[in-house]
Structure 1
Amino acid sequence: MSYYIGIDGGGTKTDFILCNEAGEILACKRYGSASHKQIGISGVVELLRRGIHDLLEEADMEENDSGSPFAAKAHAQYYGCFGMPLFGEFPEYDRQIEGEIKREFASCHIRVVNDAQAGWAGSLGMQPGINVVAGTGSIGFGVNEEGRTAKAGGWSDFFSDEGSCNWIGRRTVEYFTKEADERLPKGALYYLVRAHLQLTQDVEIIEKIEEEYVPSRDKMASLQLILKEAALAGDVAASYLYEEAAEELSLIVGGVYRQLFDERSCLVSCSGGLFLAGDCIMIPFQKKLAEYPVTLIQPRLDPARGALLLASSFGDGKLTAELLEKAETR
């Protein structure tokens, strides 16, 4: 029997999932950030150790007296894939983390990929096309019919990640200040930010943001929830900001498209917390995508299940998107 471990790492949360070769989900766990920028290399390895141990324990497959977490099932094969944020951007860190994972989990055959690749694998079921992620950060990843891959966006949380929740959080604060000093008309955004941050004077936002939000990408990204509320309340600036985000995300799709598809049509899917804003982002995003010969589809599977598919593809190839779509959680 083969077992697969999929790990979808992100700047805010990390999902662990375990299944068998029939696609039956045996256990799921969620923890915090998997970014080595936030928790360090030792923190990443400890996160994997804890997550995998807890998965196997939940599935009644915890370690036996041999001390190996993968020894409880005799003659079983384990394959894993870790979709890691920032993978491929810091080669020295990549080598260190891969080395630690190989030593710690030698019998599991865990491969490390960029988390954007796990997003593509899940949303498109390993089929050619492009997936754009807009969560804490943003990035696009695609694979064409020839198997070539390409990325766009996601260069840095400081000067890139356009269209992401973190980017929108920063822009939300910018638009608040413009409404506060009447460069723009005051609307729902202004009053919602004041209430959320408990401001008695507008100027207090400087200390609040610089001390509490700037050090935390997660907290900054959470401000995009205010933007949705403001847009639904009719704030013109909030709606315009969603149009800006849609433009940035469509540029990411276009960057991957031009690298891979050479005027051919292709499928596009999207994942990440920003798209939970529904029509606020989806309507302008669909409008912008009309510039390309692409078809926007709903994601088939989430990124954690995408990591399961990648784990199988790196191993015995028994797992398919169809099995994961049909199988139920145990």
Structure 2
Amino acid sequence: MRVYLGIDGGGTKTDAAAVDSEGSTLARFGGGPSNPHSATFDLALDELNKVIHGLVSSLPQKDVRLEGICLGMSGIDTLEERSLVKKAVSRILAEWPGDHPVAVASEGQISLMAALGQEFGVQIIAGTGSICCVFAPGGSYWRTGGWGHHLGDEGSGYSIGLRALKSVMRSYDGAEPPTRMTDIILKGYGFAQITDLKGYIYQPSRGKADIAAFAKVALEAARDGDECAIRIVTEEAGALADTAAALLKRRPVPPGNRVVLTGSVFGHSPLFTRTLCGKLQAIFQELVFVEGASAAPPSVGAALLARKWFGGLG
């Protein structure tokens, strides 16, 4: 059996998938982080080794021929890094029959392949951070946003969460009206009073993800009709739409006019999604939005890319 492998490697986890020559998913396998900037390059390669062996071992048939692998990995940016990854993965695959070609794609390309069946299109990400990308059919890539939580990340979980935190404290001071977000935080975090939030937030161990977790507070309160939360969610969605519009005004939308929406904020907030899509469609009426949450996992997209590139499909 001819098998193609795909890897979605990140700073917190690694997901791997295998597909057959027809594109059907055969197996999935997960592991720890494989972003070399989250640990070391050697540790990242060790994790890839474990995940690839685990994936191949979990295949329903053992008589397989590995025809290629595609890796979409965060933190792998330079040509030198890509070359090191390719060589290391080639050594890992050498123990199995097959030609073992190795490709390194971007995280956006494997996500688009999973959602659209092609590696080109528009992607808007609103997770812990945010970024907007255009991938052309020839492999060219452009972006707006993605500058991190100090310089940008509008519409991200971090930005929404930080605004929620500030709003509940301003509400406590009487500078803003009462907000349901206060009660949600008190109940969810077990605080006796909202002023306990200060001691929690300023602990040295608190990081970006801890702030982003409070986005759920704003999204829940907005669903309940809280005016303050609704304002935060809609303004952040509008800001991210502006970031995407700036990109789309400069770069043509690839064939199909499809925009893939990925990230936890889209998944948890129909209001956020409606606001962003509405603002963009008012400018670009031809856009068609696809929710990434309903698509196959990016690891499957990576495996399908390996099948496309190494299986003679294009």
AA matched with 1:83: G
Deviation at 1:244, TM superposition (A): 2.5
SS in 2 for 1:250: helix
SS in 1 for 2:132: strand
Q: CA deviation at 1:263?
A: 11
The equivalent of 1:53 in structure 2 is 53
Cα displacement (A) at 1:145: 5.3
SS of aligned partner of 2:37 = helix
Paired residues for 1:178-197 under 5 Å: 178-197=170-189
- Once the 2 structures are TM-superposed, how far is the Cα of residue 78 of structure 1 from its aligned partner? 3.0
The aligned residue for residue 198 of structure 1 is 190
Output the CA distance in 2 between the equivalents of 1:196 and 1:152: 35
Q: Distance in 2 between matches of 1:129 and 1:263?
A: 5
Give the CA RMSD over aligned residues. 3.0
Total equivalences in the alignment: 306
How many percent identity over aligned positions?
A: 24
Q: Which amino acid aligns with 2:305?
A: L
Matching of residue 241 in structure 1 with residue 241 in structure 2: no
Unaligned runs of 5+ in 1: 62-71, 320-330
Structure 2: unaligned runs, 5 residues or longer: none
The residue identity in structure 2 corresponding to 1:84 is M
Change (3 A) 1:265 1:109: closer
Structure 1 residue 313: deviation in Å? 3.4
Partner of 1:305: 300
Question: Equivalent of 1:226, from 202, 214, 217?
Answer: 217
Deviation at 1:11, TM superposition (A): 4.1
Match of 2:264? 273
Query: In structure 2, what is the Cα distance between the partners aligned to 1:306 and 1:96?
Result: 22
**Structure 2 residue 121 is the aligned partner of structure 1 residue 132:** no
How far apart, in 1, do the equivalents of 2:262 and 2:254 lie?
Answer: 24
Partner of 1:77: 66
TM-score by length of 1: 0.79
Alignment of 1:60-99 (within 5 A): 60=60, 73=63, 76-88=65-77, 97-98=85-86
Partner Cα separation in structure 1 for residue 199 and residue 37 of structure 2: 24
Q: How far does the alpha carbon of each residue in 1:250-283 deviate from its partner, in whole angstroms, 9 at most, with x for none?
A: 2342243234208998221211211112412111
Where 2:222 maps in the other structure, the secondary structure is helix
Answer whether contact 2:168 2:182 (CA < 8 A) is retained: yes
Higher mean Cα deviation, 187-196 or 108-117? 108-117
User: Is the CA contact 1:187–1:235 (under 8 Å) kept in the aligned structure 2?
Assistant: yes
8 Å CA contact 1:27, 1:55 repeated in 2: yes
SS in 1 for 2:39: helix
Does the 8 Å CA contact 2:114/2:300 hold for their aligned counterparts?
Answer: yes
- Does the aligned pair in 2 maintain the 1:265–1:293 contact within 8 Å? no
Deviation at 1:27? 1.0
Deviation at 1:285, TM superposition (A): 1.2
Aligned partner of 1:28 in structure 2 is 28
Q: 1:3 to 1:248 in 2, by over 3 A?
A: farther
Whether the 8 Å contact between 1:79 and 1:311 is mirrored in structure 2 is: yes
Shift, 1:97, TM fit: 4.6
Contact 2:126 2:264 in 1 (8 A): yes
Q: Cα deviations across residues 21-72 of structure 1 (Å, max 9, x unaligned)?
A: 11221111234444333333233222222221221121156xxxxxxxxxx6
